[in-house]
Amino acid sequence: MCCTALLACAHQPTVYLYAKYLTPQERESLEEALGNKEFAVQSNNFEFPTTIEQNTILYSLVLSKPALLTHIEQVTEANGFTISRQQAMTEGNHWYTKDSAALFLYSLEGAKKGLRKADVARSYIASGCDTDITLTLQNDGSYQFLGTIADAFQKQHATGTWLFRQRPYVELRATGADYSSQYFEVSREYTRDQISALTFIRLTPLQSYLLDSDCVLEFALRE
């Protein structure tokens, strides 16, 4: 999925808060603190450019109120976030016109580097094997296999909850079960084809009741 360009409000400088990796409490607190009579705030759950791996501000070169950047820095610092990088204009498919800035923040909770749970919550298709099985890991912690599910035992393990307690492993716990019974190793690859940059997230089965060992579950994101 590619993010479309975001246009600044014509009368009020706007802060676009990229909240994909924030907790609901962090997002709400920042939305309230960033918005005031001078500046508008719009939050979203869009993907981050793959080059942004730390707290970052992107901003337009034309700012009618340069105090916008100072305001963002003060608010983020007051909420415990440190801005590591500022850059004008563009990054990936994200670009900003007059009187706008984008704020990319990673949660104060959880892992600081590498894949996060929000990165892993995707819909995956099987690759490298002859099956129509797909797996969806939902943001609410539930999972579901779809496709040709052969027998009752497999159906028992086709839905449940998923855990990402220790990188790089994803655990699947079937509905009603007291423990995890399926395990996958998660990895990420950055590459590029003739069109654009690509990010692949893959789940390699270590123990699965619905996939053979030569199957890999794959999600692809084009920038």
State the first-to-last Cα distance of the chain, in angstroms, to the nearest integer: 7
Winning range, highest mean pLDDT, from 4-13, 14-23, 108-117: 14-23
Identity of residue 55: N
What values do phi and psi take at 196, rounded to 5?
-165, 180
Higher pLDDT, 223 or 152: 152
Q: 123 has which bridge partners?
A: 136
Q: Is 223:50 a contact under the CB 8 Å cutoff?
A: yes
Decide: residue 19, CB within 10 A, 0-12 exposed, 13-18 middle, 19+ buried: buried
Q: What is the C-alpha radius of gyration for the chain, rounded to an integer number of angstroms? A: 20
pLDDT digits (tens, 9 = 90+) for 65-102: 888 888 899 999 999 999 998 888 655 555 556 788 99
pTM, rounded to two decimals: 0.64
What is the per-residue pLDDT for 41?
A: 92
pLDDT digits (tens, 9 = 90+) for 197-219: 888 999 999 999 999 888 999 99
Count other Cβ atoms within 10 Å, centred on residue 57: 21
Beta strands 14-18 and 100-104: pairing type? parallel
Q: Is 9:40 a contact under the CB 8 Å cutoff?
A: yes
* Percentage of the chain modeled with pLDDT above 90: 48
Q: Which residues contact 42 (CB under 8 A, 6 or more apart)?
A: 6, 14, 15, 16, 17
* Percentage of the chain modeled with pLDDT above 70: 88
Q: 162 has which bridge partners?
A: 172
Domains and CATH numbers, the chain: 14-104 (3.30.70), 117-222 (2.40.128)
Q: Can the peptide bond before residue 13 be classed as cis, meaning omega within 30 degrees of 0?
A: no
